[in-house]
Amino acid sequence: MKLRDLGERRCLEIIRRYTQTHPCLEIGFGDDAAVLRMKKKGERMAVSTDLLVEGIHFLLPNTGFNDLGVKSYHVNASDMAAMGAWPVATFISLGLPPETDVQAIRDFYRGFAGAARRHGCVIAGGDMVRSDRMIVCVTIVGRYQADSRPLVRSGARFGHRVYVTGWPGESGMGLKMLLENPRALREKRFLPLIRRHLIPQARVKEGAALAESRSTGAVIDVSDGIYNELTHLAIQGRIRLKIEASRLPLSPLLKEACLRKGESPLDMLLFGGEDYELLFTSSLPPAKIQNLFRVHGSRIPVHEIGSVEKGRGVTIVDERDKPIKIVDQTFQHFTFEKR
C-alpha cells in the first residue's frame, strides 16, 4: 500500500500508535500544538511545527518572498491561536535551491520578522539545507497567561453553539483565481481575495480571549476548510455538529466572485481552505463572544453557524432544516485530491 492509497488522515492514525506520554506532556498528538508543563506549577508552553512546500502550499513567482515570510509566520501562529497560546519564539529551517537569490532570503526573513514582531514573537534559530525546491519548516513556541487554559479539539459539549471568525472561503477563491490566471494579481476588484490567500492573519488575540473564558469548548483553526475541521471536532468530541448552511458567513466579495466564476458558494465556504480563522464551540451567546474579543482588542466578526447535538458526525442543513448531501472535497496530502 502506498501513501496515495492511504491518505493523510489514515496516515496520521498510523503515526499516533508511535506517540507516547510523558510527565511534562499535558496535551500531545492530535491537536494543533503540544502543551508542556513547566517546572513552576501552573506554567505551560505550547509547541508546534509546520511545513510549507513550494508547489503545494505556495507558488513562485506568484508569491513574493516578503509575503511568503508573512504567511509562514501566520500559518504557524494560527496553531498557537487554536490552542489559546501567545507566540513567543520561532525556529525557521529552510530548504533552498542553490540558485536562490540572496535578496529573496532577505525579503523572506524581513516579512517573517515583521509579522512576528506584531505579537512580540522572535526568531530564535533554525537551519538551512540544499533542496531542489523551496521548503519552509517553522517550529513555534507559545506561552499561556496565568489565568488561561489550553484549548483543545475535544471540548465540544451538548448544548454548545458553533462559531467561526471572519470570512472563510475567501482564501480558497483567491487561490483559484491565481491558479486559473497568474495575472489575477493585477485585477484590483478581487485583489483582496488573493491577498487573503497570500498573506493570511492568525487570530491570536481571539484565541487568547477564548482561552480565558471557561465557557469555551472545542477550538481548531481553519486550515483545510470548515467541513474538514468540523469533522475533526465531531470525531474528537464524540458529538454531532449541526450546521445551518444559511448562517455560514458569505462575504459580499466572495459571493460576487462565485457568481462570476460559476462556483458554489457553499462548496467554497466548506472546502476553500487556508483561511486560518478559528472554528469553536461555546456556551456563550454571540454578543458576549464578540464583546470578549473586543476586550482583547479584536474587531474580527464572529458568526454563529450551528449547534452541538447528541449523536455523531457533521450534518449541514438547509433553511427547512433538511440535511444537505455533502461530497467531501477536502484537499488531502498524498491522495492528491483536487481542492
pLDDT at 338 over 50: no
Question: pLDDT tens digits, residue range 317-334?
Answer: 999 999 999 988 776 655
Claim to verify: residue 138 and residue 9 sit in the same structural domain: yes
pLDDT at 15 over 80: no
Claim to verify: residue 139 and residue 172 sit in the same structural domain: no
Claim to verify: residue 130 and residue 204 sit in the same structural domain: no
- Which residue, of 143, 173, 194, is where some domain finishes? 143
Contact call for residues 222 and 249 (beta carbons, < 8 A): no
Whether 151 maps to a domain, the answer reads no
Give the CATH number, domain containing residue 60.
3.30.1330.10
Of 335 and 181, the one with more pLDDT? 181
pLDDT at 259 over 50: yes
Claim to verify: residue 21 and residue 116 sit in the same structural domain: yes
Claim to verify: residue 122 and residue 204 sit in the same structural domain: no
Give the CATH number, domain containing residue 223.
3.90.650.10
Question: pLDDT tens digits, residue range 141-164?
Answer: 999 988 889 999 999 999 999 999
Claim to verify: residue 73 and residue 122 sit in the same structural domain: yes
CA dist 162 and 144 (Å) reads: 24
Claim to verify: residue 165 and residue 313 sit in the same structural domain: yes
**Given pLDDT bands bounded at 50, 70 and 90, which one contains residue 337?**
very low
pLDDT at 66 over 50: yes
Q: What is the mean pLDDT of the chain?
A: 90
pLDDT at 5 over 80: no
- Which residue, of 86, 112, 143, is where some domain finishes? 143
**Given pLDDT bands bounded at 50, 70 and 90, which one contains residue 49?**
very high
Whether 337 maps to a domain, the answer reads no
Claim to verify: residue 220 and residue 97 sit in the same structural domain: no
Write down the pLDDT at residue 68: 97
Angle, helices 170-180/252-261, rounded to nearest 10 degrees: 40
Average pLDDT over residues 29-58: 83
Whether 323 maps to a domain, the answer reads no
Write down the pLDDT at residue 29: 77
Claim to verify: residue 270 and residue 303 sit in the same structural domain: yes
Which residues, listed in sequence order, are joined to residue 224 by a DSSP beta bridge? none
Write down the pLDDT at residue 339: 39
Question: What range does the domain containing 30 cover?
Answer: 3-143
Claim to verify: residue 127 and residue 196 sit in the same structural domain: no
Whether 338 maps to a domain, the answer reads no
Q: Which of 10-24, 75-89, 236-250 has the lowest mean pLDDT?
A: 10-24
**Given pLDDT bands bounded at 50, 70 and 90, which one contains residue 24?**
low
Longest dimension (CA), the chain: 59
Give every CB contact of residue 228 below 8 A, 6+ residues apart in sequence: 271, 273, 328, 330
Write down the pLDDT at residue 39: 64
pLDDT at 129 over 50: yes
Claim to verify: residue 120 and residue 93 sit in the same structural domain: yes
Give every CB contact of residue 202 below 8 A, 6+ residues apart in sequence: 73, 74, 75, 76, 77, 78, 80, 81, 221, 276
Write down the pLDDT at residue 147: 83
The per-residue DSSP string of 72-113 comes to HHHHHHHHHHHHTPEEEEEEEEEEE-TT--HHHHHHHHHHHH
User: What share of the chain in percent tops pLDDT 90?
Assistant: 69
Of 18 and 305, the one with more pLDDT? 305
Write down the pLDDT at residue 327: 86
Its pTM stands at 0.86
Write down the pLDDT at residue 64: 93
User: What share of the chain in percent tops pLDDT 70?
Assistant: 91
Whether 244 maps to a domain, the answer reads yes
Q: Which three cell numbers stand for residue 267?
A: 462548496
Average pLDDT over residues 121-131: 87
Whether 331 maps to a domain, the answer reads no
- Residue given cell 485585477 in the structure block: 187
What end-to-end distance do the CA atoms of the chain give, in Å? 23
Residue type, 15: I
| Phi, psi values for residue 52, rounded to 5° | -125, 125
Write down the pLDDT at residue 332: 61
| Closest by CA position to 158, among listed 243, 234, 220, 239 | 239
3-state helix, strand, coil in the chain (%, to 5): 35, 25, 40
Question: pLDDT tens digits, residue range 193-246?
Answer: 999 999 999 999 999 999 999 999 999 999 999 999 999 999 999 999 999 999
pLDDT at 61 over 50: yes
Which DSSP symbol is given to 99?
T
Whether 178 maps to a domain, the answer reads yes
Whether 149 maps to a domain, the answer reads no
Question: pLDDT tens digits, residue range 166-202?
Answer: 999 999 999 999 888 877 777 788 999 999 999 999 9
- The number of folded domains in the chain is 2
CA dist 274 and 197 (Å) reads: 7
Claim to verify: residue 104 and residue 236 sit in the same structural domain: no
- Which residue, of 111, 143, 175, is where some domain finishes? 143
pLDDT at 10 over 80: no
